Amino acid sequence: MCVESPAWLLTQGRRDEAKQVIARLYGEEHVQTALSWLEVSKKSETAEEGLAAPKKESMFAPRYRLQLLGGIMLSMAQQLSGINAVFYYSGSIFSDAGISDSRVGTLIIDFINIWPAFFTGVLANRFGARNMILWGLSGMVVMSIGMTVAFIVDVSALSIVFTALYVIVFGVTLGPLVWVMTADIFPDSIRASASSLCIGINWLCNLIVGVSYPYISDALNDYAYVPFVVLLAIFYLLALKLVPETSGKSAEEIQAEYDSRREQ
């Protein structure tokens, strides 16, 4: 089920294998279109290097600074949104809301997290991945505030509704799209190393939330989600600056957008 990247195969001079992979992934009818995009990218990189021998680029190079910051920001936003505080501690959250059987809360959360992802591709193609990320961050701010208010006024039904909506918003936006955009914003030359760094940071933030949330909950009680509201608002502002639209764009167009932002 795992195949080599067509872009990497082309850089190794293995054009026939690249065609086979493209045909397998996207169908024979898209082979020439995909090849033309990839080969333009390859020629562009060669021209930038002055026709010199290909060299290994660093993800920390100044020209990739915005991309790297954007990828790290997206990875942090996905986890520091507080989503795994709900997943890991849904039993206690729903117990506070009046549901005694923790398994019921867990099943509810798991179900409503899975099905929204089936609509993500269609929505991203129509509205744009960047817009979906921004809408997701702002939507989770609203739902987190709603959860906090529901906990304060001690209305069980309201807290369950806002928690469910919070998970749905995440499931259709940040949940699946962060992985896609993290790969899209990097050029082929640094994608593997930069994506690996972002994934590592993603898991580190996951660990931080998982370990710290019980202490946050004990300290803040009904206001336990206020820190996540603040973080989500900060990530929204950062995304406006660091994340360009990637839907329907080639790698060259995405990099050109970053070059334009860097010069501003």
% of the chain with per-residue pLDDT over 90: 44
Instruction: Evaluate whether 233 touches 134 at the Cβ level (below 8 Å).
Output: no
Residue 259: which pLDDT band, with cuts at 50, 70 and 90? Answer: confident
3-class DSSP assignment, residue 35: helix
Tell which residue, 106, 250, 132, has the closest CA to residue 188.
Answer: 250
Query: If phi over 0 gives left and psi between -120 and 50 gives alpha, with beta otherwise, what is residue 233?
Result: alpha
**What is the average pLDDT across 227-253?**
91
Residue type, 194: A
Which tokens sit at 252? 């060259």
93-112 pLDDT tens trace: 677 666 666 677 777 787 88
d(CA 11, CA 13): 5
4-45 pLDDT tens trace: 888 778 878 888 888 888 888 888 887 888 777 776 566 555
Rg value, the chain, Cα = 21
Which tops the pLDDT comparison, 75 or 53? 75
Q: What is the pLDDT of residue 69?
A: 95
Helices (H), the chain: 6-11, 15-26, 31-48, 65-80, 83-88, 90-96, 102-114, 120-127, 129-153, 156-172, 174-184, 188-220, 226-242, 251-263
Residue type, 200: G
**What is the average pLDDT across 69-96?**
86
Average pLDDT across the chain, whole number: 85
